[in-house]
Amino acid sequence: MNPKLLHNLTVIPFFILGITSFIMGFGWMLSSEPWMLDEYANTILLEESYKDLFAHPINENLPRYLTLLYRFFGLWVTTIGMLIMSFTIVTRLGTVMARNFIQSSFFITLIGISIIEYIFIPSSHFVYLTFVLWILWGVSVWAGIKLKTYDV
Residue 145 has pLDDT above 80, yes or no: yes
Residue pLDDT, tens place only, 105-144: 999 999 999 999 999 999 888 999 999 999 999 999 999 9
Residue 5 has pLDDT above 80, yes or no: yes
Residue pLDDT, tens place only, 56-102: 999 999 999 999 999 999 999 999 999 999 999 999 999 999 999 99
Q: Which contacts (CB < 8 Å, 24+ apart) does range 23-27 have?
A: 23/81, 24/74, 24/77, 24/81, 25/73, 25/74, 25/75, 25/76, 25/77, 25/78, 25/79, 25/80, 25/81, 26/74, 26/78, 27/74
Q: Give the closest residue to 42 by CA, choosing from 61, 28, 21, 58.
A: 28
Range 40-45 average pLDDT: 87
Interior angle at CA 31, CA 29 and CA 36, nearest 5: 115
pLDDT band per the 50, 70, 90 thresholds, residue 152: low
Length of the chain measured in residues? 152
Residue 151 has pLDDT above 80, yes or no: no
Which sequence spans correspond to the domains of the chain?
3-150
Would you say 16 and 84 are in contact if contact means Cβ atoms under 8 Å apart? no
